[in-house]
Amino acid sequence: MKILITNDDGIDAEGLLLLAQAVLAAGEHDIRIVAPAEQCSAMSQRITLREKLLLRKVRYPLKGVKAWSLSGTPADCVKVALEKLYKDDKPDAVFSGMNFGYNSGFDIIYSGTVGAAMEGILHGIPSYAFSNAAYISNDLAIAKLPELINTLLKKEADLSGIWNVNIPGCPEEECKGILWDRRPAPFQFYRDNYDEEECDDGVLLSVSGIPYDGEVDISTDIGALQRDYISVGRVQNMILGVDYDRR
């Protein structure tokens, strides 16, 4: 399959490399990477309109994988890739991630990782977002992603939304398995917190997210992650959820 991979943490992010390695381990796929040149978290589906974009081919540390950096947002990366690299033959799938930190609950709305995947389905391409626990070992993701990717790619395409995958921060031997069809929890996993610092012009605010520590129903993405399950669920695009001819 032809698979476009992007992310929001940037072209040099470890999670991007781990996702590309997992795709290679899952099968003999044709992989192209177009990722932001810089960190672009929490940009949702923002696109660039009034600035020039620099598309630059880069050397990537995976044999056979072609990669480019773009001075734009995750959604820009998908748009530019489809217009410049896949103009005559669009990819079979768009993979976004692997994000540093969960994209669950209401945080999904802000996510550049999810935004890039949503851009993929706007172009009629099955799309998938992958996220991992922050500041935790990647061993579980490395072990489970290839098989999970194969399972996802075999599912019937549904272009009303994306598949959203979150991997818990537990050792591989403690993971209880995969829970499918998890719905987004109805709140933010990373609660807003602003540290204040006085300055001449007012108050400087530094934002940091505080992880939610209350128990959540296991039917949700956060509830599954709390119990050491890999959470997989559908996130629908409100517009594409309408039944109409997409010619």
Query: Is residue 75 pLDDT above 70, yes or no?
Result: yes
- Specify the pLDDT at position 239: 77
Query: Is residue 238 pLDDT above 60, yes or no?
Result: yes
CA 72 to chain centre: 16
Instruction: State the average pLDDT for the chain.
Output: 94
Phi/psi for 77 (5° steps) reads -60, -45
Query: Is residue 24 pLDDT above 50, yes or no?
Result: yes
The residue-averaged pLDDT of 198-215 equals 90
Please give the Cα distance from 88 to 165 (Å, whole number). Answer: 30
Enumerate the domain spans of the chain: 2-236
- Specify the pLDDT at position 164: 98
- Specify the pLDDT at position 18: 97
The residue-averaged pLDDT of 1-25 equals 97
Pairing outcome for strands 127-132 and 202-211: unpaired
Write out the E strands in 66-214: 66-70, 93-100, 127-132, 161-167, 178-179, 190-199, 202-211
Query: Is residue 35 pLDDT above 60, yes or no?
Result: yes
Q: Tell me, which fold does domain 2-236 have in CATH?
A: Stationary-phase Survival Protein Sure Homolog; Chain: A, (3.40.1210)
Query: Is residue 247 pLDDT above 50, yes or no?
Result: no
